[in-house]
Amino acid sequence: MIKIKNILAQETYDIRLSVLRNNIDLPYKFEGDEEGSTFHLGAFYEKKLVGIATFMKSNLEAFDVEQYQLRGMATLPEVRGMGAGKKLINKAIEILEERRITVLWCNARKEAVGFYENLGFKITGEEFEVPKVGAHFKMYYLVN
């Protein structure tokens, strides 16, 4: 069973590096990782950290309210399809509801758009390219 817990920024780095930055010369430590308003969640399977996600205050032009951006979400290949990503997002939404945040958004890799759509995210704007990474879409979720 997958369990979600709060973790430290440093605990996200190994998975960010191995999954999101594998053979890509881009930073895996994000500006804002250590801000007091930022939070990091970890998905654990059999006590092993297998998935991560970071949530930080950041504004998407389309919305004029306080909002959070999902950054650096990744799961290890061996647990994909087990619900870790969904559980990370659902826990984040609970936390954002408590903080009275109404918008969660992300820059979703093109191949992950279906995953986010299944969780209720919507695309805003056109496809764009992230150098060294590939095609992305801005997506948002309206938190209750």
pLDDT at 21: 78
Considering the segment(s) 2-142 as one domain, its CATH architecture is 3-Layer(aba) Sandwich (3.40)
- The model's pTM is 0.94
| Residues 80-107: b if buried by 16+ CB within 10 A, e if exposed | eebebbebbbebbbeebeeeebbbbbbb
pLDDT at 29: 85
pLDDT at 56: 97
pLDDT at 53: 98
- Domain map of the chain by residue range? 2-142
Encode pLDDT of 48-80 as tens digits.
999 999 999 999 988 999 999 999 999 999 999
The Cα 65–Cα 14 span in angstroms is 33
The Cα 119–Cα 66 span in angstroms is 21
Which residues of the chain carry a pLDDT beneath 50?
Answer: none
pLDDT at 22: 73
